[in-house]
Amino acid sequence: MKTLQHKFVEVIPENVGEGFLYISLRYCTAIHKCVCGCGNEVVTPISPTDWKLTFDGDTITLYPSIGNWNFKCRSHYWITNSAIRHAPKWTIGEVESGRQAEKKDKIRYYKQKKKGKWRSFFRRWVAPVLC
Ligand SMILES: [Zn+2]
């Protein structure tokens, strides 16, 4: 099975090497060259609503899968324990509904986050005055 070798870096290098996954914790971003060999660079932001990165001390897992729908190759794969597992290509309809779901997730997440901020603000500053 094909694997990616991870490298923790401060900033993303100009020349992204084939077969490497560069991770910048500072910029919460990972980058690698599409594993199909097309040469395109795949940027995966790491955030609660984008990709989640797991480092077990030896290997890297990116979740969810990587779907390069904007590239000609339209490759789709998982990076699990640094190993590349190819996944079925999505239809245009599937890509579209995936994008919609992603958008909804983001909106939900940021709404919740806002709510949480208000709640803690209320508990800390408003509630003590009222009670
Ligand atoms: Zn590709």
43 CA to centre of ligand 1 in angstroms: 13
User: What is the mean pLDDT of the segment spanning 122-127?
Assistant: 82
Q: What is the 3-state secondary structure (H, E, C) of 77-125?
A: EEEECCEEEECCCCCHHHHHHHHHHHHHHHHHHHHHHHHHHHHHHHHHH
Q: How confident is the model at residue 131 (pLDDT cuts 50, 70, 90)?
A: low
CA of 87 to the centre of ligand 1 (A): 13
At 18-27, the pLDDT tens digits run: 999 999 999 9
Structure pTM? 0.82
127: three-class secondary structure by DSSP: helix
Strands 76-80 and 83-86 turn out to be antiparallel
Report the separation in Å between the CA atom of 76 and the middle of ligand 1, taken as the mean of its atom positions: 9
**Ligand 1 center to 68 CA (angstroms):** 7
Is pLDDT larger for residue 120 or for residue 42? 42
- Distance from residue 81's CA to the centre of ligand 1 (Å): 20
Domain boundaries, the chain: 1-89, 90-131
Average pLDDT over residues 59-81: 96
Query: Using CA of residue 18, residue 20, residue 21, residue 23, what is the dihedral sign?
Result: negative
